[in-house]
Amino acid sequence: MNAMAGEQQFLAHVVGSAAGPAAANDQARRAHLHSQLLQLQAWQTTLQQVLSSAFSPEPGIQPSHPLAQQAQALHQQCQDLQARWAQQWSALQPARSLAQDFEQREILLVFGKFNAGKSSLCNFLAERFAAQGQPVRFFHLADGAVVESDEPLREGATETTARLQGLCLGTGLVLLDTPGLHSVTPENAALTQRFTESADGLLWLSSSTSPGQVQELDELARELRRNKPLLPVITRSDLIEEDEVDGEIQKCLRNKTEANRALQEADVQARAQGKLRQLGIDLSVLRSPVSVSVHMARSQPGPYPLANAGLLRLYTAIAKVLAPAQAYQQRKPAEVLLHHLEENVQCAIDTELLPQLQRLQVALDQEQERLQHSKAAMLRAAWRQTIPALPGLLDLYADRLHVLSAEVAALVRGEIREQLRSHLGGYALPALQAEPATLGLPPATVGPDALYATLQNAVREQLEVALAAAVDTCSHALEPMVLPVAQMQAHLRQCSQDLHSVGTALRA
């Protein structure tokens, strides 16, 4: 096949891709897409219900308690995350609008460093389409809207693409020329990142002087993980040679040899595969690299310069990219929502919300353990403070047992208050009785030793009962927090599994 026939076949393929699938298949595809969108929206609703169940501390816990503050922080985080996700989805609106503007066409993102020849290649393809009578339309984006332009894309050795621009080729293909992600301006890099969402496939351009700098694929990793096809294109595949013309040595620009091009293409292929493995990306997204020289293709009219410059192979390679790109384009509305849910929502759940829930769960477990230890600690401390005072009280009130009983009871009650304040101050505990109480000593006691022993037993019993009751009250106050934490963790993990299942079904 000669180059002109190959070019015509490529143009016919691009025009045909715009026609889309047959009506029956298209109806089934739309029904499937609608079903997937409904499932993704239902997933969002379920997640909102889970996050709305974020709890507040029980009344038995003071607001100043660290657990109460953790619970409040968790509740606030759930609200903040939902607000952030709404903003992130809103930020995708320009890219979604761009995709809707060209929903009957495949959009290929032309990606590369600012001197990779992106604009030159785009303009050359526009020239070839126009030469074959196909419509060509240039545009740029202003405030997220498509603005028509009568001028081709600006070309230059330095960065002339100060804005995101593109062109429509025929009725089925859009090339989106971008300010490089390695752009000299942060604004341009951010602009490119924002609009990569609208692309269905990726043309990765690099100059033959340093082809296939695979670190650039780091910037495309997000799109490649979305299973968008990647076609590496080695540009400026030419070199300057000296030749004798009319007896004078002149420098001439020539195509690189087929052998040289094959070596560079194989090198780019191997290094790109290695990089994709490193990034954990399926190698099936990678297409075989193609070397081209736009300058040589433009240098002379006719089919041979076109073929020798590698354009026929480029046409074939792009045509092969369009099939998976079209499949992606057809499910793109659901893909865009899925990306948002996976990369913004689920990622934040995994890296922010679940860890905080885990920290709260650990803190609850530790607090329950501390409460049980505090029971014994409070009893020891109260015993040490109370028992040394008994002999003096016994000397004072040995003949008035009802007074002795009330005095010892007041002593015990005061020590209980002190221990509760020191160890359980973060809890709202029932107030102890203010009026004097007695220990219930027998009306007659034989000898001071027996009375002292009776007092000791009564003090221990009252301390044990009161402190155990206080600890149990605190422990019960934590229980309404423990179950919701476990339930929320389980629900969020189930949401993650459900989202993965929906994504798998969407891409099946």
Q: Measured between alpha carbons, how far is 244 from 342 in angstroms, rounded to an integer?
A: 62
> Topology of 1-9+104-330 in CATH?
Rossmann fold (3.40.50)
Examine the pLDDT at 22 and tell me if it is beyond 60: no
Beta carbons of 113 and 399 less than 8 angstroms apart: no
Question: In a 10 Å sphere around its CB, with 0-12 CB exposed, 13-18 middle and 19+ buried, how is residue 463 labelled?
Answer: buried
Which residues fall within 8 angstroms of residue 180, CB to CB, at 6 or more apart? Answer: 111, 112, 113, 114, 116, 118, 159, 161, 188, 189, 192
Examine the pLDDT at 183 and tell me if it is beyond 90: no
DSSP 353-412: IHHHHHHHHHHHHHHHHHHHHHHHHHHHHHHHHHGGGHHHHHHHHTT-HHHHHHHHHHHH
> Hey, is 169 helix, strand or coil?
strand
Average pLDDT in the 276-292 region?
Answer: 96
Query: Looking at per-residue confidence, does 194 or 436 come out higher?
Result: 194
Which residues fall within 8 angstroms of residue 381, CB to CB, at 6 or more apart? Answer: 419, 422
Q: Measured between alpha carbons, how far is 233 from 292 in angstroms, rounded to an integer?
A: 7
Where in the chain are the domains? 1-9+104-330, 21-101+332-508
**Predicted local confidence at residue 157, as pLDDT:** 47
Residue appearing with tokens 């009871």: 409
Beta carbons of 404 and 397 less than 8 angstroms apart: yes
Which of 44, 144, 107, 85 is CA-nearest to residue 343?
Answer: 85
How many other β-carbons are positioned within 10 Å of the β-carbon of residue 309?
Answer: 25
Question: In a 10 Å sphere around its CB, with 0-12 CB exposed, 13-18 middle and 19+ buried, how is residue 340 labelled?
Answer: buried
**Predicted local confidence at residue 18, as pLDDT:** 56
Average pLDDT in the 369-394 region?
Answer: 93
Q: Measured between alpha carbons, how far is 117 from 157 in angstroms, rounded to an integer?
A: 8
Q: What is the mean pLDDT of the chain?
A: 86
Which residues fall within 8 angstroms of residue 461, CB to CB, at 6 or more apart? Answer: none
For 112-125, write each residue's pLDDT tens digit.
887 788 889 999 99
Share of the chain above pLDDT 70, in %: 86
DSSP state of 2: -
Query: Looking at per-residue confidence, does 359 or 101 come out higher?
Result: 359
**Predicted local confidence at residue 142, as pLDDT:** 78
How many other β-carbons are positioned within 10 Å of the β-carbon of residue 64?
Answer: 9
pLDDT bin (cut points 50, 70, 90) of residue 53 is: confident
For 186-227, write each residue's pLDDT tens digit.
666 666 667 788 899 999 999 998 898 999 899 889 899 988
**Predicted local confidence at residue 233, as pLDDT:** 97
